[in-house]
Amino acid sequence: MSGREWAVERQEGVEIWTIDGEARRNALSRAMIRGLLENLARVRDDRAVRCVVLTGKGDKAFCAGADLKERAGMSADEVHHFHRSLRDAFRGIESAPQAFLAAMNGAALGGGLELALACDLRVVVDGAEMGLPEVGLGIIPGGGGTVRLPRAIGVARAKDLILTGRRVGAAEALAMGLVSRVAPSGTLRDVALELAGLVARNAPVSIRQAKRAIDGGLHLDLDAALAHENAMYQDCLTTKDRVEALRAFAEKRMPVFTGE
Ligand code: COA
């Protein structure tokens, strides 16, 4: 199984999508974005996939942002089209029913960090650097970085990173809340798969609804956010998986969820 420029593996309920472009430090080309959109369309209705781990090949970079070599040969229209596809792909990750986990195996810069920011969970290997260096390149983060970074770590810290363009290491990223776990060198895959496995054993509809409740409620006022949570909760009540969970509890066994 593979989309363009992505290696795809499946381990039980978890898919691992690896950006396959080590020579250019997994920088995002047009073909990679097409492949990402294809993979997203493929898993959208696949109930067997409960969690997707995004990672990059090699140990140098998770993703070095947009492919600047390809960019150099692109017309203004092509850049515009690329950018729209990139934004659609990142939004597709957020609106997917599965949980997405960015396993940052090396540097995550520019669009590479923005890709990770579109994911629900972020884990980084010790020694990797992360940053949004765009202001040093005469642009601003335009793949959602100015929107998602402050939502993830707060306005003051986001401005500290975006206005300086500086890179942070794993320890600072953890302290800032940019990542939730740091994996010692050589353990990233195990750490990421363990976390993905903990997500994947839960009811798929619950994962989808919890993701929607959190993302959709974040910037509503308190009453509206609680009403939104309640709407997301109500949708779980009619599922077979909820009945299965109650039955499994009574029978003292693990529930078997189907996503229905
Ligand atoms: N687009 C295209 N090619 C890229 C790239 C990008 N975004 N980032 C790196 N590469 C290429 C380099 O040009 C180099 O190619 P070459 O072997 O033909 O010279 C190759 O990848 C290796 O890069 P190098 O810098 O030697 O690797 P490294 O392991 O020492 O460092 C990074 C890796 C990611 C830290 C470093 O490449 C980097 O800082 N890249 C720029 C990232 C960036 O600013 N992105 C934001 C864009 S808005």
Across residues 116-122, what is the average pLDDT?
98
Average model confidence (pLDDT) across the chain: 96
What's the whole-number mean pLDDT along residues 182-202?
97
**Active-site hit among 114, 118, 200, 217:** 114
Ligand 1: centre distance to CA 15 (Å): 27
> How many whole angstroms separate alpha carbon 63 and alpha carbon 36?
13
* Measured distance CA(116)–CA(102) in Å, rounded: 5
For residue 39, name the pLDDT band (cuts at 50, 70, 90).
very high
- Superfamily (CATH) of domain 204-250: Lyase 2-enoyl-coa Hydratase, Chain  A, domain 2 (1.10.12.10)
Q: What is the pLDDT of residue 164?
A: 98
In 3D, which of 140, 181, 180, 183 has the Cα closest to residue 158? 140
- CATH (residue range 2-200): 3.90.226.10
Pick 253 or 3 by higher pLDDT.
253
> Ligand 1 centre and the CA of 25: distance in Å?
6
| Helix (H) or strand (E) segment spanning residue 108 | strand 107-109
Query: What is d(CA 216, CA 234) in angstroms, rounded to the nearest whole number?
Result: 15
Confidence of residue 106 (pLDDT cuts 50, 70, 90): very high
Q: Give the pLDDT confidence score for residue 38 in this predicted structure.
A: 96
- 62-84 mean pLDDT: 95
For residues 92-109, average pLDDT = 98
Q: What is the mean pLDDT of residues 83-112?
A: 97
Examine the pLDDT at 243 and tell me if it is beyond 90: yes
pLDDT digits (tens, 9 = 90+) for 153-174: 999 999 999 999 999 999 999 9
Mean pLDDT of 119-126: 98
Q: In the chain, how long is the greatest CA-to-CA distance?
A: 63
Over residues 202-238, the pLDDT tens digits come to 999 999 999 999 999 999 999 999 999 999 999 999 9
1 or 104, which is more confident?
A: 104
**With a threshold of 0.85, does the pTM exceed it?**
yes
Query: What whole-number distance in Å separates Cα of residue 207 and Cα of residue 129?
Result: 30
**pLDDT beyond 60 at 3:** no
Measured by CA distance, the residue closest to atom 8 of ligand 1 is 64
Tell me the pairing of strands 130-131 and 107-109. parallel
Residue-wise pLDDT for 143-157, tens only, equals: 999 999 999 999 999
Q: What pLDDT was estimated at residue 48?
A: 92
Smallest CA separation from ligand 1 atom 4, residue: 24
Task: Choose, from 106, 110, 111, 145, the residue flagged as catalytic.
Answer: 111
The pLDDT assigned to 4 comes to 58
For residues 42 and 3, the answer to whether their CB atoms sit within 8 Å is: yes
Residues touching ligand 1 (Cβ under 6 Å) are 24-25, 27, 60-61, 64-69, 107, 109-110, 133-134, 137
What is the pLDDT, as a whole number, of residue 69?
A: 94
pLDDT-above-90 percentage for the chain: 96
Residue 1: predicted pLDDT: 43
Residues of the chain with CATH 3.90.226.10: 2-200
CATH 1.10.12.10 positions along the chain are: 204-250
